[in-house]
Amino acid sequence: MKTQIIGRNRYAVNHQRETDNRAGNPITRNRSLPSFAIAVVALFMALSQSAHAAGPLTSVQVATEVMMHTQADVAGFIATQFGVDPNSSLSYSTYVDPGGQSFTFSLNSGTTFLGQPLALTESGTFVPSTRTWNMSGSALYGSTPWTLTSSLVLTTGPNASVLTSTSAASWSSAGGTTAPNGVTGENCTPTVYNPGGLIYSSATCYFVYYGTQNGPTFQVDDDFSVLELSSWSVVLNSQYWKFSLYSQGSTSQGGGAGSFTAIVGPAQQACVDCGSN
């Protein structure tokens, strides 16, 4: 177990060797780069930082952040309704509207979880007049169908580089299963920061039972690198609810098709400054 630093937060998560995001190959560093190469790299980084300076997020970046938050909601749904399975890597396909007004993601066909087939799809649409994202989804676990709904309202942050919001999700089964762990949804208050280059978010969340809080709050944290092919990751760890989430994905900077994988496993050992409960 190692400590990973993402943005300003620290998490206890399993690590692999540092890899090149584009090829998955271990990174090797040449410590004797010629001065010309160093100058080119420095110029590229300066231009990249300038192109992605601190300030308001683009509509595509907002849509991607909402999608990331929604898939964390889905992880909470899976953990509380079905359990945890560290041996199942859940692979999703995604699409973010290049106009930043909608997104979709769905589990790839043939997915199983705890030995049962699992199908799931989610979509989100932005309503500009109310600054609200409305999400709807469906899942089929074994032979039991589920309906997932949520909304996220964007509010004004203290400055242009901060985006605040509130979200509420609810889950219901059409197959007779009713809140096996006393959980029917999740409420959160995500805050997104854009200091330039690396966008990151921290959300305080809690599960609900028909609108009433059930259990303590927990943190959901993510980062979204706009300098590295728009790679992103999300981390959640709840000692109380005995589950964790670690997901990694990528999305084109201008929207379009993407993908991510997620592992909904048991809670990790408590760590410093990760806000787990």
3 within a domain of the structure (yes/no): no
16 within a domain of the structure (yes/no): no
Phi first, then psi, for residue 274 (nearest 5°) are -105, -5
Give the CA-trace dihedral at 264, 266, 272, 277, to 10 degrees: 100
Interval 184-205 mean pLDDT:
93
Average pLDDT, the chain: 81
Q: Note the pLDDT of residue 163.
A: 95
Interval 189-197 mean pLDDT:
90
Instruction: Please report, rounded to a whole number, the percentage of residues in the chain having pLDDT higher than 90.
Output: 64
DSSP the chain: -EEEEETTEEEEE-----B-TTT-PBP---TT--HHHHHHHHHHHHHHHHHTBSSPPPHHHHHHHHHHHHHHHHHHHHHHHT---TT--EEEEEEE-TTSSEEEEEEPTT-EETTEEEEEEEEEEEETTTTEEEEEEEEEETTEEEEEEEEEEEEE-SSTTEEEEEEEEEEEESSS---TTS--EEEEEEEEE-SBSEEEEEEEEEEEETTEEEEEEEEEEEEEETTSTTEEEEEEEETTTTEEEEEEEEE-TT-EEEEEEEEEESPPPP-TTS---
- For 10-67, how does the pLDDT look when each residue is reduced to its tens digit (9 = 90+)? 333 332 333 333 333 333 334 333 443 333 333 333 434 444 568 888 999 999 999 9
19 within a domain of the structure (yes/no): no
The CATH number given to whatever domain includes residue 219 is 2.40.160.40
270 within a domain of the structure (yes/no): no
Give the range of the structural domain holding residue 126, as residue numbers without chain letter.
32-265
- For 221-266, how does the pLDDT look when each residue is reduced to its tens digit (9 = 90+)? 999 887 545 789 999 999 999 999 999 999 888 899 999 999 999 9
Contact call for residues 130 and 165 (beta carbons, < 8 A): no
275 within a domain of the structure (yes/no): no
Phi first, then psi, for residue 75 (nearest 5°) are -60, -40
- d(CA 226, CA 199) in angstroms, rounded, equals 7
Domain count, the chain: 1
177 within a domain of the structure (yes/no): yes
